[in-house]
Amino acid sequence: MDFSLPEKARMLGDLCRDFADRAIRPHAAEWDRERRFPVEVFREMGELSLMGLLISAEYGGTDVGAVAYAAAMEEVAAVDNATAAAWNAHLTIGSLPILYFGTEEQKRRWLAPLARGEKLGGCAFTEPNAGSDLSAIETRAERVSGGWRLQGRKNFITNAGTEMSLGPIVLARTAADRFGFFVAPAGTPGFELGPNLEKMGWRSMDTRELIFDECLLPGDHLLGENDVNGIRQATETLAIGRISVAALSLGLARACLDASLAYALERVQFGRPLASHQAIRFKLANMGTRLEMARLITMKAAWLYDRGEPYRQEAAMAKLAASELAVDASREAVQIHGSYGYIEGEFPVARYYRDAKVLEIGEGTSEIQRIIIAKGLGC
């Protein structure tokens, strides 16, 4: 069995690592402190052909496949998880509904500018009363003369309020058990953005409430010719998002391990480096082992996806294992740094600790992943 990364994935990973080291690392702490979305980074990612990794060349993307995608995501996520998280939302839920459900004309109108990096994508599933249970969605899209009328609220939506935003893709109920994805450009009358939310972590990322009050959209803003029957048909095609969040988590866990190792080798207590105390060595050994395990299941899920084989069970396992690792690794990283880890600024691990928690929540919580996995096991 060959465990080496394919050449294409290695090259893309190298490109992303170099780019992130140069354009993101020097500024990540400042963007976090100032809660500033780095629009210039996303523009440059467009110039580097990094904004359409899962979209085919005919619509302006590079369609690198999930293995290369995961390698690329881990590299950026290891440098700044908030920037990588916004990139993740753009590349998956912010673009793929148009690829999967859109007409040819809609793909040319909306997907191509997203894939070329001229626009930034986002997607609105979550609502005040519908988080894990998307079948409870209350936002309604009603057919009216000349189009659709949207009524409802979406919560915690990524990438909807930046100057690059295309306007979110909105999942709305069209009938008792029918749903549709709608593109809602910013500035449409009846569509309002709430203020950027103050988050524990991922602070440079744009996250808002969306309010639709008698918002009229033209008929061709429903993706595809028709709405779809059932919430699963609408959302399950997007399970690749779990591989993406797993890769985001791997990057964060790796950053925690790298920072902890460097600190433990340098910091001397009781006349020896921390790294020579067994309690600290064991923490590092556990982090390294779990990182390798989580990366293997993530890459297996990505490999299955690329082969067109069933991958949802492995994607759920990857998301669960990697996100829980990221949270544990960030806690251990702060512990290894002692009080220096608790203070913002000199070391990045306080930011890693704040960024990690949401990885267990977004794209399906750990509990929801366990429900999916248990079902896949046959119970």
Ligand X SMILES: Cc1cc2nc3c(=O)[nH]c(=O)nc-3n(C[C@H](O)[C@H](O)[C@H](O)COP(=O)(O)OP(=O)(O)OC[C@H]3O[C@@H](n4cnc5c(N)ncnc54)[C@H](O)[C@@H]3O)c2cc1C
Query: In which element (H, E) is residue 301 found?
Result: helix 278-306
Q: Which of 127, 209, 324, 363 is catalytic?
A: 363
- Return the number of the residue (89 or 297) whose C-beta is nearest ligand X: 89
- Return the number of the residue (252 or 299) whose C-beta is nearest ligand X: 252
DSSP sequence for 228-262: EESHHHHHGGGTHHHHHHHHHHHHHHHHHHHHHHH
* Min separation Cβ 244 and ligand X, Å: 12
* Distance, CA of 99 to CA of 135 (rounded, Å): 23
Report the interhelical angle of 312-337 vs 240-266 (nearest 10°).
Answer: 20
Cβ–Cβ contacts within 10 Å for residue 63, how many? 16
- Return the number of the residue (99 or 284) whose C-beta is nearest ligand X: 99
* Min separation Cβ 205 and ligand X, Å: 7
* Distance, CA of 172 to CA of 181 (rounded, Å): 6
**Residue 279 CB partners (closer than 8 Å, separation 6+):** none
Phi, psi of 266 (to 5 degrees): -95, -40
Has 363 been annotated as catalytic? yes
* Distance, CA of 361 to CA of 241 (rounded, Å): 13
* Min separation Cβ 63 and ligand X, Å: 23
Nearest residue (beta carbon) to ligand X: 131
- Return the number of the residue (62 or 92) whose C-beta is nearest ligand X: 92
Q: Which residues of 286-310 are buried (b: 16+ CB within 10 A; e: fewer)?
A: ebeebbeebbebbbbbbbbbbeeee
* Min separation Cβ 137 and ligand X, Å: 10
- Return the number of the residue (12 or 248) whose C-beta is nearest ligand X: 248
- Return the number of the residue (49 or 165) whose C-beta is nearest ligand X: 165
* Min separation Cβ 279 and ligand X, Å: 31
- Could you give the dihedral angle defined by the CA atoms of residues 206, 209, 212 and 218, in that order, rounded to the nearest 10 degrees? 20
* Min separation Cβ 339 and ligand X, Å: 28
Burial class (CB in 10 A: 0-12, 13-18, 19+), 142: middle
Question: Where on the chain is the footprint of ligand X (CB under 6 A)?
Answer: 89, 122-126, 131-132, 156-158, 199, 202, 207, 358, 361-362, 365, 367-368
What is the Cα 152 distance to its own chain's centre?
24
Residues with catalytic function = 363
